[in-house]
Structure 1
Amino acid sequence: MASGRSIRFKISTLLVIPLISLVGLWGFAASTTLGDALNLFKVDAIWTGVIDPSESLVTNLQTERLASAERLAGVQDDPEALARARAAVDASGKTLRQHAGSEDTRSALTPDMQNQLETVLEAVDRLPDIRAKVDDRVFTPGDLVTEYARIADEIHLLYSRLTVSTDLELSLQAQGLIAADEVRELLAREHALVIASNGRAGMRDVHLLAGIDGTRTYLFPKALANLDTELRTPFEKLYYSPRYVTMENLLEGYIAGRPMDVDLWRGIADQVQTELREAVHGTGDKLLARMEPAGTAIVVRAVLAGLIGLIAVTFSVVVSIRVGRRLAEELAALRRSALELAEVRLPDVVTKLRQGETVDIAAEAPPIQVGEKPTSEVADLAAAFDSVQSTAVDAAVEQARLREGVAEALRNLARRSQSLLQRQLKLLDEMQHQTEEPEALERLFKLDHLTTRMRRHAEGLVLLSGGSAGRRWRGVIPVEDVLSGAAAQVEEYTRVRVYPMPEVGVPGNAVADLMHLFAELIENAASFSSPENEVSVRGEMVGRGFAVEIEDRGLGMDEATFKAVNARLASPPEFDPAQTERLGFAVVGMLAARHDVKVTLKTSPYGGTTAIVLVPAELVEPMAPPTQPMDLTPISVSVVHTETTGPGELPRRIRTSRRAAQAQNAQGQAVPQQSGLPRRERQTGLPQRLKQAPTPAGPAEERTPEEARALLSSLQSGWQRGRQDSDQDGGSEQ
């Protein structure tokens, strides 16, 4: 049986197969019994259509054979006797042939009976040849008896085929009657043989007569043994009669070689044959009369047995169907409850627990119901499922509590790290303001950058544990500034190139998350690409928002990895602390899902990886370009200053160069020429938005880490470009 079949199908099969077998056995027994019983009703058709004509044929054949024997012996008194006997035989044969061809007779006969009947008719067709030899007197007495005996033997063989009774007693009675008729035929052969030899039989005829007599003597008692008292009475009366005894004595003397008185023999043999023929016909009528009531009784018993069997089978089918249906319904209800538990209840409980909701275990996992009075085994199975679901819900609750505890612990540790790193950044800022030595200042810048990266990693831990960044900006911040701030948080920020892009911004409440998202992608690009290759960051407006492309020229990833990462970014699963690989992508997916940002990775034209970030149009706002033009006069070094468009925004770096000897300020006053690196003064050249705190609750003089990092990055980049320009110009001008 296929394993994928339903329970209902298997139970139905389990019940149907025995029922089908039972029905089949009942049908076979009923058909066999009824068939045999109905065959008894065919006895009348067989008797009138076959037995009566064939019996008449046998009797007439015996008469014709005796007349033919008289012709051979030359003692025939009546010349027309043979012709009359032959006409009677022909009439009997014609009647038999007509009845054999009728539809009623053929429908009552079995194929074996029909074949034997055809054999009898073929034997009858040989009569013209036999008669011709009789007329030519070429037969010996023995040949005459033998030729006619072949037809009689075939008819008696047909009688044995016609036994249709299923009653053993009736069958034995029929066999006894057939044997008695064969005795009559044997006696007729002996009579014809004696008449044909005219009492002077040769040695060959004597031997034949002795054989026939021995067979008749043996067969007659056997025939009587198969008949009951009523049917046996006329045969016993004849068997023990003086006539029969005298006939036996005459035959014994004739076989022993004594002469036979033919006239005495004829008188006794004719009388014995007549009585024997009457006994056979009378017994046959009685046996036929017995068969019809017996057949009726058998049919009645068969019908009653069939009806009782049918009722029993019907009752078994009904009970089996009801039991099978009830069991199937109970198992189906149990299956539905188990599926609901596995696919609906437990997932809902887990979802509620992950969302921090309170779960009522009794309401969320009620007992499984499989009916009012279920089967004991099904009830036990339902109870086992109840225990399983209670244990599963308890485990889910405990797991949620444990997970929430771990997340809370991680958030607390991360918050503490953030606080310490914030204090460390403040301390570094103070040290930078108090330091004038370039080398020391450069080390402080590096330490400041490392601290900023540490703060980003701590912020990532907060995000993974279910918290938020905690930093907020007021107003709209340019996307280019957000990307520059993200690039400043990367270890190899010097390799990152942010290309110019449209003047658009994002609201301050999304700046921290987007900056962290871009920082993770930029750092991933820088980490998996060659140190001498740049990481390109480009952005432009598209139909559905603002698209940012972060491209590296590293080794890239294979197709399977691309599919796995993109699937994770498109539908980020709940963070599993056991999965420590690609934590950056976990943070990116979480932040992207929070702001409906689409992140996709693909192969770049350079063989590396391109990350495409689509910021939805709801988070993108156009910004007005700067309105105050700047008077740029070439000088000998490159410096970095900032330009602002409003409060609460990140700095934008603008590289400017001025030539040489002397410059004038906005009032037309000369600016003294300086040599070497520019001297840094606190708050000099900073835009108004960086002089303000990023959060509404912070003091005005406290700088956010992003602002300090942007300032330091700007100064360091300016120094590096100044050195490059100085080297190209052959040194700074005095």
Structure 2
Amino acid sequence: MNNRWSIRAKITAMLAIPIVMLVAIWLFAVSFTLETALDLRNAKLVSDKVTEPAEAMVEQLQIERQLTTVYVAGGRRNAGAVQEQRAKIDLEVKEFRELASDKDFQDVASAETKQAIATSTNALDALPQLRQLADNGGQADAVRQAYSGIITGSYGIGESVTNHQDSEVTEEATGVFVLGLSRDLYSQEDALITQAAASNQFTASVHTELVALIGQKRLILPYGVTLLPTQTQARYRMVAAGEAMQKLTQLENQLLAPPPGTAEAAGINLQAWRGAFDPVNEDLKRFRGEVQAHNVQAARDASDAIFLRLGVAGVWGCSR
């Protein structure tokens, strides 16, 4: 009898080893897959708490950059609009800081995103000194470029949230990030043109900067679009083929050619510029918002699919 139990125990032990190994492998696979699912599931929280508030803050900073550039270049008249915009951005910055410090967000944020937020908030700390420079004798070029530096400090936030453990979601998220960069290049171009109009100076340095900005955005915007789903790319082609974009491109081409001089000599007509630029800016803002919302939903759907597979795997594992 003892010998029979001894043999049975040996057989049980022999069977237990592969079973334990199989369970261990299954648990490892589940833990890895669960991490992916949770990462995708948290995409909406990250978007709500940081990505979209950061984008809204940057947009208000872009407006302040443009208004302040005109204010300085035009002899510091009509300060009311600048002061009003400063009050708006102060509220945006306050909300951004509060949302970024939210415990729920901090619990799921990656180290890269936390570092990007720190970089952004450090850059924002320079805003009061920049405003003093604008009010007290700073040159338009220096003021405008300093605003661009603060805005650039927030770029890392969007970039830090593009890396998901799902290739399709990651690629589209990268496209959203590139769209944001492209919109800021448009905004920089707008500030440069309105500066030239306000000062009636179209200097060699302004012309060189304008050429660089137009070249960059014409390069990276189409690239960003290639990272988007096919149906979304078709939506962008409609924007690109629209009357507003065509009109803006024509104005840009005119400004690329003339030698430096006065804004008037270069053919800068601020009313015509606003009529072309503003609709394009709104179209791109709306388009980016749609793509961002789609990307967050795609992450959610991918997460749901993983959780479903985990549930099926769990039921199967229990039944073995």
Shorter-chain TM-score tier: 0.7 to 0.9
Question: Map of 1:11-90 to 2, 5 A cutoff?
Answer: 17-74=17-74, 78-90=78-90
Residue 234 of structure 1: how far off its partner (Å): 4.1
TM-aligned CA distance change 1:20 to 1:155, over 3 Å? farther
Residue 164 of structure 1: how far off its partner (Å): 5.7
TM-aligned CA distance change 1:144 to 1:17, over 3 Å? farther
Residue 252 of structure 1: how far off its partner (Å): 2.6
Alignment correspondent of 2:110 = 110
Residue 131 of structure 1: how far off its partner (Å): 1.4
Q: Which of 253, 256, 260 is 2:268 aligned to?
A: 260
Q: Is residue 188 of structure 1 aligned with residue 187 of structure 2?
A: yes
CA distance in 2: counterparts of 1:169 and 1:66, whole angstroms? 36
CA contact (8 A) 2:158 2:177 kept: yes
TM-aligned CA distance change 1:133 to 1:7, over 3 Å? farther
Q: Which of 249, 270, 274 is 2:278 aligned to?
A: 270
User: Partner letter of residue 224 of structure 2?
Assistant: A
User: Partner letter of residue 210 of structure 2?
Assistant: L
CA distance in 1: counterparts of 2:143 and 2:7, whole angstroms? 80
Q: TM-score, normalised by structure 2?
A: 0.86
Alignment correspondent of 1:206 = 207
Which digits, 9 at most, give the CA deviation of each residue in 1:606-661, with x for residues without a partner?
xxxxxxxxxxxxxxxxxxxxxxxxxxxxxxxxxxxxxxxxxxxxxxxxxxxxxxxx
Q: Which has the higher helix share?
A: 2
Q: Secondary structure at the match of 2:221?
A: helix
User: Partner letter of residue 290 of structure 2?
Assistant: G
Alignment correspondent of 2:225 = 224
CA contact (8 A) 1:60 1:88 kept: yes
TM-aligned CA distance change 1:139 to 1:293, over 3 Å? same
Residue segments in structure 2 that go unaligned for 5+ positions in a row: 1-5, 259-265
CA distance in 2: counterparts of 1:212 and 1:42, whole angstroms? 35
CA distance in 2: counterparts of 1:144 and 1:232, whole angstroms? 36
User: Partner letter of residue 230 of structure 1?
Assistant: Q
Residue 12 of structure 1: how far off its partner (Å): 7.2
TM-aligned CA distance change 1:78 to 1:239, over 3 Å? farther
CA distance in 2: counterparts of 1:231 and 1:128, whole angstroms? 40
CA contact (8 A) 1:70 1:195 kept: yes
User: Partner letter of residue 223 of structure 2?
Assistant: K
Residue 78 of structure 1: how far off its partner (Å): 4.6
CA distance in 2: counterparts of 1:155 and 1:239, whole angstroms? 27
CA contact (8 A) 1:176 1:223 kept: yes
CA contact (8 A) 1:40 1:164 kept: no
CA contact (8 A) 1:67 1:81 kept: yes
CA distance in 2: counterparts of 1:252 and 1:259, whole angstroms? 11
Alignment correspondent of 1:283 = 291
CA distance in 2: counterparts of 1:21 and 1:205, whole angstroms? 68
User: Partner letter of residue 231 of structure 2?
Assistant: E
Residue 84 of structure 1: how far off its partner (Å): 1.5
CA contact (8 A) 2:248 2:277 kept: yes
CA contact (8 A) 1:43 1:164 kept: no
CA distance in 1: counterparts of 2:78 and 2:97, whole angstroms? 30
Residue 203 of structure 1: how far off its partner (Å): 1.6
Q: Which has the higher strand share?
A: 1
Q: Secondary structure at the match of 2:162?
A: coil
User: Partner letter of residue 228 of structure 1?
Assistant: P
User: Partner letter of residue 113 of structure 1?
Assistant: T
Q: Secondary structure at the match of 1:200?
A: coil
User: Partner letter of residue 92 of structure 1?
Assistant: E
CA distance in 1: counterparts of 2:273 and 2:85, whole angstroms? 21
Task: Report how many residues are paired.
Answer: 306
CA contact (8 A) 1:34 1:303 kept: no
Question: Map of 1:302-701 to 2, 5 A cutoff?
Answer: 302-308=310-316, 310-311=317-318, 315=320
User: Partner letter of residue 218 of structure 2?
Assistant: T
Residue 151 of structure 1: how far off its partner (Å): 3.0
CA contact (8 A) 1:26 1:306 kept: no
CA contact (8 A) 1:38 1:299 kept: no
Q: Is residue 98 of structure 1 aligned with residue 106 of structure 2?
A: no
CA contact (8 A) 1:243 1:268 kept: yes
Residue 14 of structure 1: how far off its partner (Å): 5.7
User: Partner letter of residue 83 of structure 1?
Assistant: Q
Q: Secondary structure at the match of 2:154?
A: helix
CA contact (8 A) 2:73 2:140 kept: no
User: Partner letter of residue 162 of structure 1?
Assistant: V
Residue 166 of structure 1: how far off its partner (Å): 3.3
CA contact (8 A) 1:30 1:306 kept: no
Residue 60 of structure 1: how far off its partner (Å): 0.3
CA contact (8 A) 1:65 1:192 kept: yes
CA distance in 2: counterparts of 1:136 and 1:126, whole angstroms? 16
CA distance in 2: counterparts of 1:146 and 1:7, whole angstroms? 82
CA distance in 1: counterparts of 2:24 and 2:151, whole angstroms? 44
TM-aligned CA distance change 1:191 to 1:75, over 3 Å? farther
Residue 217 of structure 1: how far off its partner (Å): 0.3
Residue 75 of structure 1: how far off its partner (Å): 7.4
Residue 233 of structure 1: how far off its partner (Å): 4.1
Which digits, 9 at most, give the CA deviation of each residue in 1:426-473, with x for residues without a partner?
xxxxxxxxxxxxxxxxxxxxxxxxxxxxxxxxxxxxxxxxxxxxxxxx
Q: Is residue 125 of structure 1 aligned with residue 125 of structure 2?
A: yes
User: Partner letter of residue 79 of structure 2?
Assistant: P
Q: Secondary structure at the match of 1:93?
A: helix
TM-aligned CA distance change 1:154 to 1:302, over 3 Å? farther
CA contact (8 A) 2:225 2:236 kept: yes
CA contact (8 A) 1:173 1:287 kept: yes
Alignment correspondent of 1:250 = 251
TM-aligned CA distance change 1:146 to 1:7, over 3 Å? farther
Which digits, 9 at most, give the CA deviation of each residue in 1:310-347, with x for residues without a partner?
348xx4xxxxxxxxxxxxxxxxxxxxxxxxxxxxxxxx
Alignment correspondent of 1:238 = 239
CA distance in 1: counterparts of 2:139 and 2:28, whole angstroms? 55
Residue 13 of structure 1: how far off its partner (Å): 7.0
